[in-house]
């Protein structure tokens, strides 16, 4: 009855149906080789030739993303930030599971990139948390509560330049050494833009004693700093 009164629409294009339609799935720019072996940036054959890796010195072991953050996928992920949608999380988590299984990674646990507590309270959920929960269930890996958290006070990232994003997140994340020590962590987020969030979170996990940090995101944005013209 609810579906009849309020028909579900695709968050990518608005077509009637589920939260992510087959047409949007076909049109998405799913990332394929060649990719940077370290950060997963498209059109880079190896980390040594990757501009983003040379500039940013990423500390995570490796990162991969499903698709470019553009067009219908961008619409869907922006909507996902505004409304809790378990079905969409499960769809993308299933794709992330396949992506994980294509890598030579051996994670011990799954963690989402945490939101600021006040922002999560206002929103009512963490979209990265929904993805991580579904992915952890699919991989039969633990998702320890409270193992990683975010200090209050950082500005919203999307309003900042590339340089400001990196400065903004310094020292923002804290990890529980008892939960993290010696583990290989699979870190999950919805979007990777400059890599500043993945870097800051990875540093917190490594400082807590993580052996490796792997990063998976749904979208990968080819963010361009207008000051340096470098893809960051």
User: Is the residue at 230 inside a domain?
Assistant: no
User: Is the residue at 19 inside a domain?
Assistant: no
What pLDDT sits at residue 46?
61
How many structural domains is the chain composed of? 1
Which pTM value belongs to this model? 0.87
User: Is the residue at 38 inside a domain?
Assistant: no
In the chain, the percentage of residues whose pLDDT exceeds 70 is: 82
Domain of residue 155: give its range. 53-220
- Note the pLDDT tens digit of each residue in 59-113: 999 999 999 999 999 999 999 999 899 999 999 999 999 999 999 999 999 999 9
User: Is the residue at 48 inside a domain?
Assistant: no
Check pLDDT > 50 for residue 43: yes
User: Is the residue at 26 inside a domain?
Assistant: no
Check pLDDT > 50 for residue 45: yes
The 3-state secondary structure of the chain, one letter per residue: CHHHHCCCECCCCCCECCCCCHHHHHHCCECCCCECCCCCCECCCCHHHCHHHHHHCCCCCEEEEEEECCHHHHHHHHHHHHCCCHHHHHHHHHHHHHHHHCCCCCCCEEEECCCCHHHHHHHCCCHHHHHHHHHHHHHCCCCCCCCEEECCCCCCHHHCCHHHHHHHCCCCEEECHHHHCCCEEEEEEEEECCCHHHHHHHHHHHHCCCCEEEEEEEEECCCECCCCCCEC
């Amino acid at each position: 009855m609810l579906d009849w009164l309020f028909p579900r629409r695709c968050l990518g294009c608005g077509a009637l149906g589920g939260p992510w339609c087959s047409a949007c799935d076909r049109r998405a720019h799913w990332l394929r080789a060649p990719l940077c072996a370290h950060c997963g940036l498209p059109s880079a054959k190896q980390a040594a030739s990757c501009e983003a890796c040379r500039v940013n010195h990423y500390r995570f072991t490796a990162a991969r993303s499903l698709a470019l953050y553009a067009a219908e996928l961008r619409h869907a992920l922006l909507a996902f930030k505004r409304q809790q949608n378990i079905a969409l999380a499960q769809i993308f988590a299933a794709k992330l599971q396949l992506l994980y299984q294509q890598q030579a990674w051996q994670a011990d646990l799954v963690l989402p990139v945490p939101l600021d507590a006040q922002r999560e309270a206002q929103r009512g959920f963490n979209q990265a948390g929904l993805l991580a929960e579904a992915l952890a269930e699919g991989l039969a890996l633990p998702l320890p509560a409270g193992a990683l958290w975010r200090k209050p006070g950082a500005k919203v990232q999307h309003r900042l330049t590339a340089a400001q994003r990196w400065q903004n997140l310094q020292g923002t994340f804290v990890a529980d050494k008892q939960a993290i020590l010696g583990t290989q962590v699979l870190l999950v987020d919805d979007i990777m833009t400059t890599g500043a969030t993945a870097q800051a979170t990875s540093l917190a996990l490594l400082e807590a004693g993580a052996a490796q940090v792997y990063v998976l995101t749904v979208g990968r944005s080819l963010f361009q700093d207008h000051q340096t013209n470098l893809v960051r």
